[in-house]
Structure 1
Amino acid sequence: MNRVFVFDLDDTLMDNVHDYAGPILDMARVIIRELGSRAPHVSVIIAKEEEIDKARVHEVNPATGQKFFYSMERFPGTMAATYRYFCENAKVEPKRAVEEELYVVGMQAFDVARYAGNIKPDALSTIRFLYEQKDVPMLMSKGDRRVQSNKFSALRARDNFLRASIVDNKTPRHFLQMINGYKGYVPYSVGNDYEKDIVPALEAGFTGVFIPAETWEVIGRMDEILAKVDRSRCLVLNNLGEIKERYGEL
């Protein structure tokens, strides 16, 4: 039986969540530097940044007239927005120079130099294993094409996958497009986000391979998400390497 595996990228094949940790911590230092004793505890600053960033996903970017979603501009803009929020609370006029400094800090999350080192240890060996089984590995990633294309290059996506695609949002239609021409192959979707990587794939007739990762969008919700998993159609793994170890269960 031949299979097609459509892999997610961020936090599935390549670590991503901690790319943002350094800039967030640097942002907190800048806010404390600027506001001094009027700045809240660092944990409050970080929690507010997360709240603002989640809200900005669905806010409109005034420069484009389109919603931010997962565009590159959203996160560095959140750094400046968080600073403005705490300035307002402290009744301090925000400084334009500090906002610009924080935008630059936020852009450090997209430093291409880190991407090769972020590839998960089992990623390439798992892909090679699937080729040895005569299966077809593919890659589909959601996000800003400017960011994801650099990650694709670090992963050598065009060499390591039969198909590789960047999309704005994963839908059942996108999954069906990925496997077009592979009639008779059993399709699987492998990802760390059940709601975005697995659910639309199940709707398209795929089997899911869910490898949970607690990213900023699902903090505190993992038990709730695991309770929703349709285990009759989705295998839950602890890590990427278990695809090789538990291949017989697929």
Structure 2
Amino acid sequence: MPSARPSLSTIGFDADDTLWQNELFFRRTEKQFALLLAEHAEGHDIEARLLEAERRNLALYGFGIKGFTLSMIETALEISGGKVPPKVIREILDAGRDMLSHPVETLPHVRETLELLAGNFRLVLITKGDLFDQERKLAQSGLGELFDAVEIVSDKTAATYQRIFTRYGDGPGRSMMVGNSLKSDVVPAIEAGSWGVYIPHDLTWVLEHVDEPTGAPRFRRIENLGELGGLIDKLDGEG
């Protein structure tokens, strides 16, 4: 069992909805998509069918905007019985392109917290999704210089964190993962032996929802990234 004392050397950070807004733009596009197909079905049914298509296609397309766009096209064809006009397909493609070019909006306390921790810990950005889009967002955020390493992965599992924290740090036992997804950022990091710090976001994707691992000794929850430095100091004091 890992020691109760953090003895941290490495901190991993999720990107989407932890460092910058992401799900907000998916939700807005979903509403736009539902309006495009309003003559074929009710809005809630369209959104449910789209979610099912996304769930079905994750293994093929992975996470990100490109897979989301393909799922919208597939859903439009299914709901309309293959009769969706080419104009609507064009509007769906345009919506996907708009998402891929949307300016990055960093969340509160991000830069000051990373600057506080940089130099004292190895900071690793660990994000999943489309390679080009994640690289674009990191470059536009202006945060890249604060990270010692960047890992863009197809999925986040205990094995993922074991590999990354061994490669860039001193192993999972001396590492911490910070993010808004319990399913991807917190639970598998704890399973790997790391600390898992959960920062809730109001718009976390439904497919990322699992119960909080409240019984896990290395689980912590904070309300915003600005509380992270204090949490680390507290954990060190408890040692």
Q: TM bucket by the smaller chain?
A: 0.7 to 0.9
- Counting matched residue pairs gives 226
Alignment equivalent of 2:75, drawn from 60, 79, 82: 82
CA 107–210 in structure 1, closer or farther in 2 if over 3 Å, else same? same
Alignment equivalent of 2:96, drawn from 106, 111, 126: 106
Q: CA deviation at 1:71?
A: 4.8
Classify the secondary structure of the residue corresponding to 1:225: coil
- The AA in structure 1 aligned to 2:136 is N
Q: Does 1:192 align with 2:180?
A: yes
Q: Does 1:151 align with 2:137?
A: yes
Task: Single out whichever of 121-130 and 148-157 deviates more from structure 2.
Answer: 148-157
Q: CA deviation at 1:130?
A: 1.3
Verify the 8 A CA contact 1:8 1:139 in the aligned structure 2.
yes
- What is the identity percentage for the equivalent residue pairs of Structure 1 and Structure 2? 24
Verify the 8 A CA contact 2:118 2:146 in the aligned structure 1.
no
Classify the secondary structure of the residue corresponding to 2:126: strand
5+ residue gaps, structure 2? 1-6
Residue by residue over 1:139-196, the C-alpha shift from the partner in whole angstroms, topping out at 9 and shown as x without a partner, is 1111110111111112334311111121112233432343336438821111111221
Equivalent residue number for residue 61 of structure 1: none
Equivalent residue number for residue 204 of structure 2: 215
Q: CA deviation at 1:107?
A: 2.9
- Structure 1 segment 48-67 matched on structure 2, within 5 A: 48-58=49-59, 67=60
- In the alignment, the residues of structure 1 paired with residue 131 and residue 168 of structure 2 have an alpha-carbon distance, to the nearest angstrom, of 25
Classify the secondary structure of the residue corresponding to 2:220: strand
- In the alignment, the residues of structure 1 paired with residue 215 and residue 62 of structure 2 have an alpha-carbon distance, to the nearest angstrom, of 27
Classify the secondary structure of the residue corresponding to 1:139: strand
- In the alignment, the residues of structure 2 paired with residue 49 and residue 100 of structure 1 have an alpha-carbon distance, to the nearest angstrom, of 17
Structure-1-length-normalised TM-score: 0.79
- In the alignment, the residues of structure 2 paired with residue 81 and residue 27 of structure 1 have an alpha-carbon distance, to the nearest angstrom, of 12
Classify the secondary structure of the residue corresponding to 1:140: strand
Q: Does 1:240 align with 2:230?
A: no
Equivalent residue number for residue 202 of structure 1: 190
- Structure 1 segment 7-26 matched on structure 2, within 5 A: 7-26=13-32
Equivalent residue number for residue 111 of structure 2: 124
Verify the 8 A CA contact 1:141 1:167 in the aligned structure 2.
yes
Equivalent residue number for residue 5 of structure 1: 11
